[in-house]
Structure 1
Amino acid sequence: MAVPTSEAELLAAISVTFDKLIADLAKVPIHRSREATLAGHVAATTMSPADLVAYLLGWNELVLKWLERDDQGLPVDFPETGFQWNELGRLAQKFYQDYGELSYPQLLDALVHVKQRLVGAIAARSDEELYGRAWYGKWTKGRMIQLNTSSPYANARGRIRKWLKA
């Protein structure tokens, strides 16, 4: 899929990749959802399908936090307060812990809900706001959203499909 350059393309990319991902995540047997046999987000580690969903949930919530802070005129601490871009493995571990108490069905429901909130937040923005100017370094707001939503959805789908086949 091409890199989105408009609100409509961004929403389509999120919709297409999410719908495929959630269908594959629904195929994970609940009794195997905490089985840490997927390649982890940190080299030489493993994670479970539930951890993978927690990771996506954490990133989606983080993107919403960025947008909300920006809307309020507050500084956005990319990627997250207390984390640098070279510490994304540690951030992934935080997401696993943040959502570790939720059951697998609860994680899936939360992921669907946060994706719906993201769609609403994107739909409330113009093409100019999303793609008309740089927001973080050279990246536009739309590109930062895409890099942290539809791209990870596609990556996660590849991981979970490989896991399901194994």
Structure 2
Amino acid sequence: MQEYDSKEALIAAIQKAYTLFDKEFDDVPAEEINIRIKEVDRTPQEMLAYQLGWLNLILGWEQAELAGKKVITPSPDYKWNQLGPLYQQFYNEYRGYSLQDLRTLFKQSMEKWCAWLEQLSNEELFTANRRQWTVTNANWPLWKWVHINSVAPFKTFRAKLRKWKKHRP
């Protein structure tokens, strides 16, 4: 996993990975976002829904904790060994949206994500145990949660989307 030496480096990595991933959708036909192919495990719609789901879920954890509420991760309805059904919930939540709407929502979520990170201190980002929700499943500093739910999947899904475009009917 990539390490970061500052909040600015983390945000720059997120923005770069987001931009490259989002740009891949420029030549995806809007009417084909739900086409499934055997070579790729998610449709373009599902890739965007997955990202929207995780970005918003983590922002929700943060808001709840700061409001003094108990945070249940990944959600009150799902345990960590039930991620498949959680992802299905994400896909269903964003199923009726157009490609343009999904991209707009993704951009807005990224703006919120980066604004949240901007207001955090380096200590909050890079020191373990600063948020209770980061301790629940893995005792990681916050930056690792950020990385595995933004930079890492943006890169992975970019490659999957390129493969999807290459093999689509």
Same fold (TM over 0.5): yes
Aligned to 1:80: 75
Measure, in 1, the Cα distance between the counterparts of 2:97 and 2:105. 9
Alignment of 1:26-65 (within 5 A): 26-37=26-37, 39-40=40-41, 47-65=42-60
Letter in 1 for 2:45: A
After TM superposition, where is structure 1 displaced by more than 4 Å over at least 4 residues in a row? none
Counterpart of 2:21?
21
Residues 40 and 164 in structure 2, CA contact (< 8 A), matched pair in contact too: no
Deviation at 1:4, TM superposition (A): 2.5
The structure 2 residue matched to 1:66, chosen from 61, 64, 82, is: 61
Structure 2's unaligned 5+ residue stretches are none
Cα shift at 1:5: 4.2
Contact 1:4 1:13 in 2 (8 A): no
**Aligned-residue CA RMSD in angstroms?**
1.6
Amino acid of the structure 2 residue aligned with 1:84: K
Name the CA shift for 1:3/1:27 in 2 (closer, same or farther; >3 Å). farther
Tell me if structure 1 keeps the 8 A contact 2:40–2:163: no
For residues 48 and 72 of structure 1, what CA distance do their matches in structure 2 show?
Answer: 36
Structure with greater strand share of residues: 1
One-letter amino acid of the counterpart of residue 22, structure 1:
D
Letter aligned with residue 98 of structure 1: E
Q: 1:39 to 1:80 in 2, by over 3 A?
A: farther
Paired positions, count: 160
Q: Which moved more, 1:75-84 or 1:107-116?
A: 75-84
Pairing 1:162–2:163 present: yes
Answer with 1-10 or 58-67: which moved more: 1-10
How far apart are the structure 1 equivalents of 2:18 and 2:59? 16
1:106-121 alignment runs, 5 A limit: 106-121=101-116
Task: Report the counterpart of residue 141 of structure 1 in structure 2.
Answer: 142
Displacement of 1:26 = 2.1
Query: Is residue 5–residue 142 contact of structure 1 (8 Å, CA) maintained in 2?
Result: no
Q: Which moved more, 1:155-164 or 1:66-75?
A: 66-75
* Match of residue 125 from structure 1: 120
Greater Cα offset, 69-78 or 120-129: 69-78
Deviations 1:106-125 (A, max 9, x none): 01110011010000001010
The TM-score normalised by the length of structure 1 is 0.89
